[in-house]
Structure formats: structure tokens, C-alpha cells
Chain A
Amino acid sequence: DSGVTQTPKHLITATGQRVTLRCSPRSGDLSVYWYQQSLDQGLQFLIHYYNGEERAKGNILERFSAQQFPDLHSELNLSSLELGDSALYFCASSVALGRPNTGELFFGEGSRLTVL
């Protein structure tokens, strides 16, 4: 168990809809990352938050947005969903105060999104 919790585990929705994926990082971790994993694209970096602030953006579509709250949990919002958005969405956390920054990311088990 990595200590990172993602909900929901599975989500089925229709095109044009909006969903919110939630991530609770490991206790004390300040960084949260979102990745999208699809069969043909591998793990694609979407966005990184550190202690509530956006730090880096990857290949994140304008229809997608994220935020990290004061309690450090994070949400990824996906809107105007398309068939191609069907994928596994992973959250990862790292960098806890008082712990060495080894560069390791701790991944949750992912949220599987199916858009019909």
C-alpha cells in the first residue's frame, strides 16, 4: 500500500459530461502529480502541484483542470469528455517535510475512466 488514495476506482460516463477525480496523498507529502495512462501512450504527465500551488504543466488539455486544497488533497476535473479521454488516471505524491527528497513518486491505484 503506497499510502496514496484515489477515488473513484472506476467511473463510466457519457461524452460531453464532466467528472471529478480525487486524490489524497501520503501523510505529509506536499507534492501531488497527475498522470494519464492509456494503452498506446503510456504514462503522460498532466500537472504537478506543490503545497497548493501549480508547479508544472504537461500535456494537459484545456478541458482538464486541477487544484490542490489546503489539506493537500487534490482534484482533477475533466469536462466535455470525449471517447479519447478514456484512460487510467493516476495520482502520485512525494516530498514530505523532514524526509529526504529521493525523487521517488508514490502512486495510487488509479481511477479508470470509461467514456461511452
Chain B
Amino acid sequence: QKEVEQDPGPLSVPEGAIVSLNCTYSNSAFQYFMWYRQYSRKGPELLMYTYSSGNKEDGRFTAQVDKSSKYISLFIRDSQPSDSATYLCAMSANNNNDMRFGAGTRLTVKP
């Protein structure tokens, strides 16, 4: 079993849709959770960062962490074509940046 599981998609939605991206994990020591966005031919860049359980909102993006279920989510409201990218979840146990990444979900938002 992989430490971090993420459905690779691909996921295609119409512009304006609400997108839900998810990851599950097996290591209960993880307590720092991140979402990275990766555009084609580019390196990943940090989108959202949360510590422990709870929700965090930043504009159209909301990250949720449920440590009891070992499940994290990223919601994108009013999705735009510019949101088309691969979204990778990432997590670590001690914030020493020894992160483990999910496989990434490829999202396409169609105009």
C-alpha cells in the first residue's frame, strides 16, 4: 500500500464547476498537509498549506483535513480554464520537509 493515494484522473469539468480533489494516506504521523499545483512542463508550486485537522480557505480554494479518516480534500469553486493543471497532495510528519506526494490528479477546466 502506498503511503499516499491519489486518484490520477484525468478529471474534466466545465468552467464554473466546483471541483473536489482528494487524497488518503496511511501514516498517522503526518500532520502537515499541502496541495501543490503543477502546470505542464513546470515544477510544482505550493497552493495550500494546513497543519493538523480542519479547514483552510484562500479565495476560491478550500483545503480540508480529516486526520481521523486519514483523508484530505481540496475544493475549487467557480473553476476557471486557468485552473487546468495537475494537483498533487503532499504531507509530512515533522515539517522537516521530508514530504510524501500523491501521484497527482490532472484537471482540465473547459471554457
A interface, CB within 8 angstroms of B: 2, 4, 31, 33, 35, 41-45, 48, 55-56, 90, 92, 94-95, 101-105, 107-110
Chain B residues, Cβ within 8 Å of A101: 95, 97
- Contact of A105 with B97 at beta-carbon distance under 8 Å, contacts A2-B43, A4-B43, A43-B44 already known: yes
| Most A C-beta atoms less than 10 A away, residue of B41, B42, B44 | B44
Interface pairs (14), CB distance under 8 Å: A4-B43, A41-B103, A42-B8, A42-B88, A43-B101, A43-B103, A43-B104, A55-B98, A90-B43, A101-B95, A103-B34, A105-B44, A109-B41, A109-B42
What CA separation (Å) do A95 and B41 show in the bound complex? Answer: 25
- Contact of A33 with B97 at beta-carbon distance under 8 Å, contacts A2-B45, A103-B92, A108-B43 already known: yes
The closest CB in chain A to the CB of B101 belongs to A43
| Most B C-beta atoms less than 10 A away, residue of A95, A103, A104, A107 | A103
Chain B residues, Cβ within 8 Å of A44: 101
B interface, CB within 8 angstroms of A: 6, 8, 32, 34, 41-46, 49, 88, 92, 95-104
Chain B residues, Cβ within 8 Å of A56: 96, 98
What CA separation (Å) do A103 and B43 show in the bound complex? Answer: 17
Q: List the 4 closest A-B pairs by CB distance, nearest first.
A: A107-B43, A42-B103, A43-B101, A104-B46
The closest CB in chain B to the CB of A48 belongs to B98
Chain A residues, Cβ within 8 Å of B32: 103
Please determine whether A55 and B101 come into contact, CB atoms closer than 8 angstroms. Answer: no
What CA separation (Å) do A52 and B102 show in the bound complex? Answer: 28
CB within 8 A of B43: which of A45, A48, A55, A109?
A109
Please determine whether A55 and B49 come into contact, CB atoms closer than 8 angstroms. Answer: no
Chain A residues, Cβ within 8 Å of B97: 31, 33, 48, 94-95, 101, 103, 105
What CA separation (Å) do A105 and B46 show in the bound complex? Answer: 7
Please determine whether A45 and B99 come into contact, CB atoms closer than 8 angstroms. Answer: yes
CB within 8 A of A45: which of B8, B45, B100?
B100
